[in-house]
Amino acid sequence: MTSKLFMLSYTVSRKEKDSSYENDRSKNWADHVRDKILNIQNGWKKHADVETTFTGTIDLDGFYDKAGAAKANISKEISLLLKDVPSQYVPVVSVVLLVSGLNEVVEFKI
């Protein structure tokens, strides 16, 4: 099994709502997700001076579509953090991912 180094950067965007009350709730849930991502305990290393950047390793052996496999792996990790958010307030997590040896930037939304 060969692990590849990765670096990801992300942003969490709240859903816009019609009322100020609903916008506040949406913002609170987005903040909740930001806090959960910042405190993720899966071996990713958060960089202290860059708030929304992590590095780590990812196993892509045996996958023909390595970019797709990397996207699926990261999406799975972050999606687990969204499970407790009510569906009407689930924020959008935008990700930019670099993986050593891929020769492409992988951008996606969760």
> What pLDDT digit, counting tens, does each position of 24-43 carry?
999 999 999 999 999 888 88
CA angle 70, 63, 65 (to 5 degrees): 65
Is the pTM of the predicted complex or chain greater than 0.85? yes
Q: Identify the pLDDT of residue 16.
A: 84
Residue linked to tokens 């951008």? 107
Q: Identify the pLDDT of residue 17.
A: 82
Q: Identify the pLDDT of residue 54.
A: 94
Asked if residue 51 lies in contact with residue 2, where contact means CB atoms within 8 angstroms, the answer is: no
Mean per-residue pLDDT, 87-105:
94
Q: Domain limits of the chain? A: 3-109
For residue 91, CA distances in Å to 4, 10, 19, 69 come to 29, 12, 17, 23
Q: Give tens-digit pLDDT for 45-76.
A: 998 888 899 999 998 887 788 899 999 999 99
Residue 45 bridge partners (DSSP): 55
Residue 54: DSSP 8-state: E
Q: Identify the pLDDT of residue 88.
A: 92
